[in-house]
Structure 1
Amino acid sequence: MDCKKPTWATGLFSSAIFFLLNVIFTYGQTEGQKAIIRSSTNSVTLSEFIVQLKQEHKNKQSNIKNLLVSKNWKYATKEKDGTVVSLNDLGTDGTPLFYTTFNDPSEQTSRAHTLYTNGLLDLGLDGDGMTVGVWDAGVALTTHQEFGDRVKNGDGSDEIDAHGTLVTGNLVSTGIKAQAQGVAYAANAITHNWTRDKIEVAEAAANGLLLSNHSYGIKSDRVPDWYFGAYIRVSQDWDKIMYNAPYYLMVTAAGNSQQSMDNESPIYGKTPDGFDLLLGFSTSKNGLTVAGAYTEIGKKGELKKAEVAAYSSLGPVDDGRIKPDLAGDGSSILSTSSDHDKSYQSSFGTSMAAPGVTGSLLLLQQYHDELYGNFMKAATLKGLALHTADDVAEKGPDYKMGWGVMNAKSAAELLQERDYSSLIAEEQLADQETFTLTIDALPGETLYASISWTDPEGTAINRGELNDGTAALTNDLDIRITQNGTTYFPWKLNPVRASDAAIQGDNRVDPYERIEIPNAEGSYEITISHKGALTNGYQDFSLILSGVKASNCSVEIPKGLDMVAADTNGVKVNWDSTDETLYELQYKAFNEAEWTSQLTWNNEVSIADLSLGQIYEVRIRAICTEQAVSEFSDTIQFEFKAEESTVLEYEVLAHGETFEISIYPNPAVDRITVDAKLSEDAVYSVVTTSGNIIKKGNARGPIDVSCLSSGLYVLVVQDHAGIKSTKFYKS
């Protein structure tokens, strides 16, 4: 079966049903789409928070200025390898927080290339019409030839930055230089200086921004040890932005400090692995923190080998959450350079891994909008990425690459199979309530069930305690699966035994939980509950399931296709019905090349506006998802004609598969003979190239064609075994 999406339609799915429309969509963040996102944003709280952030920023800038003068420091410096370092914030304890870019010394690893036109899935995704925000040490060179008019300066900064240009190119370069093509190569990008990042992001998220990339963080050799893995004020601020703008997701690089040994007192103890090195917003609960990986990808998009990059900063965070969240490719990425409009440069580090993931997530949002007519909430998008990531090394997550390596192909396939072999639901749990769902597993498959939620900002921030294990989680949701008295628990990790494999148990710290049941069979009950009282009285969450029988739809070829009636305008056909199945009926005149399609949930269709004397062909197939489609049924043929009584009738000429025939002589003069084993009931029709039947009779023996004018004809032979047609020329 051809697994490409049908050329006759684009899928538009909903949580219950989907429609296939014979139109071309324009995808992107339109004003209407932004309005929907804004309606879900807590605009009052976010507006008040923006005012607070602006005042704090003003005060901090004054304090930073005084500190620079008193210490005789420069505001920003550029190190020998091009890394930018600037004093951008102050901790609650007064510690100067120097921000630095993460280009130490993506597309393929994240499998984004499988979503392109002519990719493995051939989805035609490229980011067209979508917008991503980029914050960095400075703005990108917007005039670079790879950007066209798609990259805009978002804050008017005149600080053109090499690193910001590299990151932006990795996201959206058009591919004039093929090796430098960005992951979402037709998308728009808005580039910003990092100086006012929280303020600008909050404003953009309130106005509909879906994704932003932050390939920078706090410089690890200039903070006290208690900062590592700590949930601090900056972590809290970003969580608050994301909670109040539920469609917005921040993607950040994990950092490149694995070999630095900058943390003298890691939670796990000193080891060569370099654990406990995450800082600042990379420890936020709601964002997506990206590690760097060395990978080998097969021709079919499969992950053949993966290990964490030697530079990539490892978790855990102090409360034991699974960070980094996942990994992307950060190795020798060729991208745009800020030297001039046609310059390029290779770089590596988590700075390059992060935009590879961000670009892939943008394509998945584009695809969700294409399929279902809306965007995913950030919790759904993040949950989808973690749910479908390629597990590496030991089973379950770890503190090196989180849930594994980003796999946009698997994520797109899960979206395609929604409501067939997967489920995605955006739900809400009220205080003291429980959500339950009974599902049937696909026999022999692994059942995956996960929940993801954007948690309210943590109420307790660390102000100086080394390796404080206080959970930052505010609303602690739980997923459990039960069957015949057996309860299945989600994965969890232990921060004080950071190199140990994950185990199943009660996860009290992560706003994402996943359960896996290998070789699942039968029915299972899924329960979502919570501990304590829910802040604000409720918690939105996203439930993602795969390896389930989510529909009774069958991809078997529909049976029983037949004529049932005719009237003055056309005929009616029907077939055997199956549950929850969309059907595509196709018909065409015998002499036409293109089929006309009708889509229906019913098992009966009227075919109208038929021409008298024409022979028509009809066939049917079942559609469960864009990729779960049956083969077409056997074709039936009929002649649409009028008798002397002027009552319009039809005549079924053939059902079923065709058989082989040949005719001689060809070209013909007076007679032709059918060379085939035919029964006494075999009949023929001579059809003109315009589709009109001009002669009929028994097909056994010579057929007189002496009365025909010179030209090309079609001979249709019908017998008990089916029907066959062949062309001949009358000389």
Structure 2
Amino acid sequence: MKISSPFITGMLAIAISISAFAQTPSEREKIKSSLDLNKINQLKQEVEVDFEKKRAVALEIAQQKGWPESYETENGGVGYLVDVVDGEFPIYLQTTNLGAVITARANHVHTGGSSGLDLNGENMLAGVWDGGKVRESHQLLEGRAVHIDNATSFSSHATHVTGTVIGSEEFQNGTAKGMAPAAETINYAFNTGNVAAEVLAAINDHGLLVSNHSYGVPADGGSGSPLPVYLLGKYDNSARLWDQIQFASPYHLPVWAAGNDRGTAHNNQGDLGFDLLTGQSNSKNNLVVAATFQVLNYINANSVNMATFSSWGPTDDGRIKPDISAKGVNTFSSTASTDASYANFSGTSMAAPSVAGALLLLQQHYNNLNSEFMLASTLKGLVIHTADEAGSDPGPDYRFGWGLINTERAASVISNNGTSSTIMELTLNDGDGFEITGQAIPGERLVATIAWTDKQGNITSGQIEDDDTPMLINDLDIRATDENQDTFFPWILDHIEFTDPATTGDNYRDNVEKIEIDEASGTYTFNVSHKGSLDGGQQVMSLIISGMENVVLGTPSNEFAQTSIYPNPASSELNVKAITQISTIEIMNVLGQSMGVYDVESNSTKLDVAHLNSGTYFVRVTIDNASKVYKFIKR
């Protein structure tokens, strides 16, 4: 077992190649060196060929059957023909703020917010794919949005979405302020090119961290011909493609609108409004967003009310989708009529950019503190880890996902990393496991979350409705044990009875697992393991814990069972003690670089750490040619 990312593969500063942005050429080269550019370019070529082939067939059949190539929707949106299923069902892509900022608790991390942070998205970049050309000259955008492709028609939908991500507070008395009001966007129209290929190019060229996609495949077909019911919730080619893209680019997290199909004809299929997700919304690795009404003062789960239109999950294999919720009703933002036009729009299209903008702030904060960005799995896990409870029962559900996004709490977990919270990016090798021990902080809820970017799944053939074959490739598990040897399991949902409350148990469907322990007391041990064999021999994963201090990371083995490091945090001296003789001790920084190797030949020693700068370090203890790594904080 080894710790890899960030210690070996590195969490690298993301570079942006547009001259107006602040990252340097050396940073651009640094992020490129972390990517397999040959793999990304090969995938880009494959999706370009596949897209053009499907598009040509779709246009030919559309001409025969009289289907429209495109159409307009409300809120300035569009639908665009991209494929045909079974030779007879057209597949269209269709488009689906201060109040949004407050609902997501982003106002608390902005300049002047109660958290004391100063996060506005400076030097951060999001990609926005939408149904037309953004009005770059709109006053709310202040020249911070750059349209990349050859779209010519202004889109109010695209302009509204972009304003929700990066809108300034200098206009409309701040009521149209976006989530990251100092960030920038690169914009594309999904109806003028191949989105997957463009995203891969943006990752390759700009080191893109976050992209927003406020569109999807409408369950009602968009053209008046509803999709076959077996496609609802199905892990199809689109879902698989986006998992493939994310597996090839582990720092990029795309945000997708869940869709606005509740209340359509498909609501009468006997699923009580559930099982309405389509296409990309069924992928494993993305972040799918549901829409709620505004929440100005969150008190408890009853404070959050679901929008009447927001599409519900689950996926056919029972994964928890959508992932998260945000305001999507009557969001006030920029439109494309003039450089000073505004409107209230509603839809999961408005909820998704609220989340995308919040993700930029969290990446900015993490980079400010650590000079590196989070993996997409860490960012996704963090948002789920810190979500506010929503829905009628504790735990996740198939309507709100894991709850209402709470940017302030997520930023706090980042701020307290190494003391009251822990964020780790690890590589789990085949046959290995991790053991994490620590003390519960009195009065705080103990929460642990693991997340990983899973390899693309295997599509099942045929037209089987609600095929529940699990799509996971690598199935990781987390368990907690207290001093009384009581075991705590992660949340799970019943993929047959959609309305049943969440319970706890073995989760073999999701690539996010979360354990919550109320009134925790004493010492807890978290064990991370995996089922079967790991595809590729290893799996990069993210671990987030809050409500626990004095955290020690290691592998379950008798030799190391009574090994300890103290005090932690340390100021000048670090003690290392083991039950048997220690061979060597190595101190490493967060990049995995050695800060010194010490021969011990004893079962205890004292290390001088006074010369180290303040920050996070790791101690590798070797006993009989076996090693265990511990994390410590230098004050």
TM-score (norm 1): 0.70
Counterpart CA distance in 2 for 1:308 and 1:398 is: 12
Q: Does 1:186 align with 2:190?
A: no
Aligned to 1:408: 407
Q: Does 1:232 align with 2:213?
A: no
State, as a whole percentage, how many aligned pairs show the same letter: 38
Choose which of 52, 62, 86 in structure 1 pairs with 2:56: 62
Q: Which amino acid aligns with 2:417?
A: R
Aligned to 1:96: 90
In 2, are the aligned partners of 1:257 and 1:312 still within 8 Å (CA)? yes
Counterpart CA distance in 1 for 2:275 and 2:485 is: 39
Counterpart CA distance in 2 for 1:36 and 1:499 is: 47
Structure 1 pair 261–64 and aligned structure 2 pair: CA distance change class (3 A): closer
Q: Which amino acid aligns with 1:523?
A: T
Deviation at 1:181, TM superposition (A): 1.4
Aligned to 2:489: 489
Aligned to 1:476: 475
Q: Does 1:501 align with 2:501?
A: yes
SS in 1 for 2:261: coil
Structure 1 pair 29–515 and aligned structure 2 pair: CA distance change class (3 A): farther
Q: Does 1:534 align with 2:514?
A: no
In 1, are the aligned partners of 2:75 and 2:156 still within 8 Å (CA)? no
Deviation at 1:239, TM superposition (A): 0.4
Deviation at 1:495, TM superposition (A): 1.4
Please list, as runs of the form range in 1=range in 2, the aligned pairs for 1:301-450 lying within 5 A after superposition.
305-392=303-390, 393-450=392-449
Counterpart CA distance in 2 for 1:390 and 1:344 is: 30
SS in 2 for 1:296: coil
In 1, are the aligned partners of 2:439 and 2:551 still within 8 Å (CA)? no
Counterpart CA distance in 1 for 2:461 and 2:25 is: 40
Counterpart CA distance in 2 for 1:114 and 1:325 is: 23
Counterpart CA distance in 2 for 1:212 and 1:380 is: 16
Structure 1 pair 602–81 and aligned structure 2 pair: CA distance change class (3 A): closer
In 2, are the aligned partners of 1:297 and 1:303 still within 8 Å (CA)? no
In 2, are the aligned partners of 1:380 and 1:452 still within 8 Å (CA)? yes
Q: Which amino acid aligns with 1:366?
A: Q
Counterpart CA distance in 1 for 2:188 and 2:399 is: 30
Counterpart CA distance in 2 for 1:278 and 1:296 is: 25
In 2, are the aligned partners of 1:93 and 1:463 still within 8 Å (CA)? no
Q: Does 1:113 align with 2:111?
A: no
Choose which of 149, 159, 181 in structure 2 pairs with 1:155: 149
Aligned to 2:569: 580
Aligned to 2:67: 73
SS in 2 for 1:425: strand
Q: Which amino acid aligns with 2:238?
A: V
In 2, are the aligned partners of 1:92 and 1:463 still within 8 Å (CA)? no
Bigger Cα Rg: 1
In 2, are the aligned partners of 1:151 and 1:190 still within 8 Å (CA)? yes
Deviation at 1:92, TM superposition (A): 6.9
Aligned to 1:204: 202
Counterpart CA distance in 2 for 1:124 and 1:225 is: 47
Counterpart CA distance in 1 for 2:213 and 2:195 is: 9
SS in 1 for 2:68: coil
1:123-152 Cα distance to aligned partner (Å, 9 max, x none): 111111110000011121111122222111
1:56-114 Cα distance to aligned partner (Å, 9 max, x none): 12212321321232223332111466442221233476632111111xxx111111111
Counterpart CA distance in 2 for 1:465 and 1:79 is: 31
Counterpart CA distance in 2 for 1:381 and 1:467 is: 30
Aligned to 2:555: none
Aligned to 1:38: 32
Aligned to 1:597: none
- The answer to which structure, 1 or 2, has the higher relative contact order (CA under 8 A, 6+ apart) is 2
Counterpart CA distance in 1 for 2:264 and 2:368 is: 45
The answer to which of 42-51 and 524-533 deviates more is 42-51
Aligned to 2:517: 517
The answer to which of 290-299 and 171-180 deviates more is 290-299
Q: Which amino acid aligns with 1:116?
A: H
Please list, as runs of the form range in 1=range in 2, the aligned pairs for 1:238-277 lying within 5 A after superposition.
238-262=242-266, 264-265=268-269, 269-271=270-272, 274-277=273-276
Deviation at 1:472, TM superposition (A): 1.1
Q: Which amino acid aligns with 1:160?
A: F
SS in 2 for 1:85: strand
Deviation at 1:394, TM superposition (A): 1.3
SS in 1 for 2:540: strand
Aligned to 1:557: none
1:31-78 Cα distance to aligned partner (Å, 9 max, x none): 444434333323222221111111112212321321232223332111
In 2, are the aligned partners of 1:232 and 1:462 still within 8 Å (CA)? no
TM-score (norm 2): 0.80
Q: Which amino acid aligns with 2:182?
A: A
The answer to which of 69-78 and 314-323 deviates more is 69-78
Structure 1 pair 173–551 and aligned structure 2 pair: CA distance change class (3 A): same
Counterpart CA distance in 2 for 1:530 and 1:551 is: 22
Q: May I ask how many residue pairs the two structures share in their alignment?
A: 536
Aligned to 2:131: 137
SS in 2 for 1:180: coil
Structure 1 pair 79–204 and aligned structure 2 pair: CA distance change class (3 A): closer
Aligned to 1:617: none
Counterpart CA distance in 1 for 2:377 and 2:131 is: 28
Aligned to 1:560: none
Counterpart CA distance in 2 for 1:77 and 1:295 is: 30
Structure 1 pair 29–228 and aligned structure 2 pair: CA distance change class (3 A): farther
Deviation at 1:179, TM superposition (A): 1.2
In 1, are the aligned partners of 2:438 and 2:551 still within 8 Å (CA)? no
Aligned to 2:601: none
Counterpart CA distance in 1 for 2:234 and 2:403 is: 23
Counterpart CA distance in 2 for 1:289 and 1:36 is: 29
Counterpart CA distance in 1 for 2:547 and 2:475 is: 26
Counterpart CA distance in 2 for 1:407 and 1:161 is: 30
Counterpart CA distance in 2 for 1:443 and 1:509 is: 33
In 2, are the aligned partners of 1:211 and 1:358 still within 8 Å (CA)? yes
Aligned to 2:605: none
Unmatched tracts of structure 1, length 5 or more = 1-13, 16-25, 553-576, 584-599, 604-623, 630-731
Deviation at 1:28, TM superposition (A): 6.1
Deviation at 1:581, TM superposition (A): 5.2
In 2, are the aligned partners of 1:231 and 1:462 still within 8 Å (CA)? no
Deviation at 1:580, TM superposition (A): 2.6
Deviation at 1:439, TM superposition (A): 1.7
Structure 1 pair 27–69 and aligned structure 2 pair: CA distance change class (3 A): closer
Q: Which amino acid aligns with 1:50?
A: K
Q: Which amino acid aligns with 1:549?
A: E
Deviation at 1:374, TM superposition (A): 0.7
Aligned to 1:643: none
Aligned to 2:591: none
Counterpart CA distance in 2 for 1:405 and 1:305 is: 10
Q: Which amino acid aligns with 1:64?
A: A
Deviation at 1:602, TM superposition (A): 5.0
Aligned to 2:561: none
Structure 1 pair 81–551 and aligned structure 2 pair: CA distance change class (3 A): closer
Aligned to 1:546: 546
Counterpart CA distance in 2 for 1:335 and 1:522 is: 49
SS in 1 for 2:44: helix
1:233-262 Cα distance to aligned partner (Å, 9 max, x none): 000000000011000001011111111142
Counterpart CA distance in 1 for 2:419 and 2:74 is: 54
Please list, as runs of the form range in 1=range in 2, the aligned pairs for 1:579-598 lying within 5 A after superposition.
580=569
Unmatched tracts of structure 2, length 5 or more = 1-5, 8-19, 222-226, 553-565, 573-607, 612-631
